[in-house]
A and B are shown apart, each in its own frame.
Chain A
Amino acid sequence: MSALPSPPGPVDPAFAEGATVVLGDASVWFGPKVALTDVSCSFGPGVTGLLGPNGAGKTTLMRAICGLLPLNLGTVRVGGLDPRTRREAQRSLALVPEEDASPGTLSARELVRYTAAMHGVRDRGAPERALAAVDLVGEADRRLAEFSKGMRQRAKVAAALVGEPSILVLDEPLNGADPVQRVALIELFRRLGDEGRTVIVSSHVLHEVERLAGRQIVLVRGRLAAAGDHHAIRSAIADRPRRVLLRSSDPRRLAAALVGVEAVTGVGVEGGDVIVSSLRAVDLARALPGLARGAGVRLLEVRPLDDSLESAFRELVR
């Protein structure tokens, strides 16, 4: 497949070099619900992580890339082709959907052989190699309905690999996999990326994507929130204000002591707990033990109130 030229001008981290998948102002809505808003980005050879909390629009974006969903506005091109209208675009594409999108009555081998046949694969050994790549040869004749979630995921990955696609779209592919299989799948996806394939992997688990992908794209509420390598994403998340709950032996004395701390932007006492706001959570964490000791207060609990990845992502689009 020929690579598309990258957009001119200053380097935008949302756009990849030698892009094979390009989205331009892509918007999708379902009735009153907006799933994607003006998303412009591209994906090139190597592994790209698609990060975002649940409902961020990752699945919609992946479906749009594969042509399963029409865009309401904007464009998506796969190797220069519209995947919705040009069937030949599907030759280079493969999707591993998050949901169970395969009939449970099929065995893993039947699923992989069916996918191979539909992609015009003539090499009769290809299905077995694909099953071997996900360590499923021994279980391949069992029905998918009898599989665990992790095994079904692996069967779907095998089906995606059998056509030797140059673009792999993997929607939460590690869901349900046990730790050993998780490591094996991450290794497999990285190898596929190293081979020069475009691998797009979605996840809502930041550290998982960091292990997988050098480049990440963050979606929040259907918008492109951040793009770049994992350092850029980490620092974007770290710079946001945080709220921390402190439970202590004397909340009022602790609150008074916290007022003078530079890293603190706000202090309040709510129901016996101290709620602290800070733009520099790391500095606050370092200062807190000494401060409590100096004030003669015993710390019972320190708990971030908004430290879920979802809240971190949401800060990125404020």
Chain B
Amino acid sequence: MTAPAAERALPKPFVAAFVYALRLCVPPKRAVLLALPCVGALLFGLLAHTVDDPTPVGRFTSIIGPLFGLILPLACLVVGDAVLGAEVRAGTFGLTWLSPVPFSTIVLARWSAGWVVAAAALTPALALSAIIAGVPEAVGVLALATVAGTAAYLALFVFIGATFRRAAWWSLAIVLLGERLLGRVLVGIAQLSPQWLATMVYAGLGPHGYQVERSGMPTGGAAVGRLALLTVVFVVLAVRMIRRSRPTGGGE
């Protein structure tokens, strides 16, 4: 039997901030928004059957680009904006800011809560898309790429939330204009792009991955390492930016 809320021990600050962020991540509207890309992933799995390729693996590989270039960033954006940017805009972040808890703890709690939600929603969706496409052997590497990709994206979006008041628009602009458009032609940008690096994880480790390999990009384990490095860099930057933020929701 669980103790009533009034009698339960108070959690440590990190746990409190983590649980608080978990609750923020999944209000009903956000849950619907998060469900859309997940459903999209399943539809891409079905669409793979229509691709003109003699093998299921070949067909599935043709949808890796949209899975990591569209589904992954959009789902992460929904969650990443919720864990910080939306709170800063609403003026409710001051509740957390006005505590003696170090900014690093706050950012880590927010990032990890968002990562858990995004990874828990996307990993099964992408794995199911592989199964629907008839390539169950891709499930493992898809899961690895998704977990690493969501980690980096959540760190990026937490950083953007700490930096810009219109975090959702900035995030969308960075994903669509920066990563998709510029990243497609400039390998230097792609090397810093979570969606391109997640694709390269598949390129190095997935069945028929060579079909999506891109020259000048790390693949497989090296891409995972790069994503981990990006995650750390964005988290550190987010801590720096949150120190300078004005978490008031607007001037007087």
Contacts and interface: CB of A to CB of B under 8 A. Distances in A.
A33 B23 contact: no
A55 B99 contact: no
Given A35-B251, A113-B5, A124-B10, A118 B99 contact: yes
Contact of A87 (B5, B9, B15, B100): B100
B100 A99 contact: no
Given A103-B87, A103-B92, 5 more contacts: A93-B98, A102-B92, A113-B16, A117-B12, A127-B10
Nearest to B20: A114
Contacts of B243: 85
Interface in B175-232: none
A141 interface: yes
A97 interface: yes
20 contacts: A33-B251, A35-B251, A67-B98, A68-B98, A68-B246, A68-B247, A87-B102, A88-B100, A89-B100, A97-B94, A101-B249, A103-B24, A103-B92, A113-B10, A115-B95, A117-B11, A117-B13, A118-B99, A119-B100, A141-B5
Interface string A45-69: 0000000000101011001001111
A30 B20 contact: no
Interface string A94-133: 1101010111011001110111111111111011100000
B223 to A, nearest CB: 36
A92 to B, nearest CB: 9
Contacts of B94: 68, 95, 97, 101
Contacts of B24: 103
Nearest to B15: A117
Contacts of B10: 113, 116-117, 121-124, 126-127
Which of the listed residues A60, A68, A122, A126 has the most CB atoms from chain B within 10 Å of its own CB? A68
Nearest to A35: B252
B13 A30 contact: no
B91 A99 contact: yes
Contacts of A115: 95, 99
A44 interface: no
What class of interface size applies to chain B in its complex with A? 35 or more
A63 B248 contact: yes
Contacts of B8: 124
Interface string B1-23: 00001111111110111001001
Contacts of B246: 68-70
Which 3 pairs, one residue from A and one from B, show the smallest C-beta to C-beta distance?
A117-B16, A118-B99, A30-B251
B27 A119 contact: no
A35 B248 CA distance: 15
Contacts of B23: 105-106
A68 B92 contact: no
A42 interface: no
Contacts of B15: 117
B131 to A, nearest CB: 35
Contacts of B11: 117
Contacts of B100: 87-91, 118-120
A141 B5 CA distance: 9
Contacts of B55: none
Contacts of A67: 98
A55 B90 CA distance: 21
Contact of A60 (B12, B102, B247, B252): B252
Contact of A55 (B7, B17, B252): B252
Given A68-B94, A68-B246, A118 B101 contact: yes
A146 B9 CA distance: 26
B13 A118 contact: yes
Nearest to A95: B98
A90 B7 contact: no
Which of the listed residues A91, A114, A118, A127 has the most CB atoms from chain B within 10 Å of its own CB? A118
Nearest to A31: B251
A59 B6 CA distance: 33
Contacts of A113: 5, 10, 16
B164 interface: no
B109 to A, nearest CB: 10
A68 B248 contact: yes
Nearest to B251: A30
Contacts of B252: 30, 35, 55, 57, 59-60, 63
B92 A101 contact: yes
Contacts of B248: 63, 68-69
B231 to A, nearest CB: 24
Nearest to B9: A124
A159 B15 CA distance: 18
Contacts of A94: 98
A68 B99 CA distance: 11
Nearest to B23: A105
A114 B102 contact: no
B103 interface: yes
A240 to B, nearest CB: 25
Nearest to B6: A128
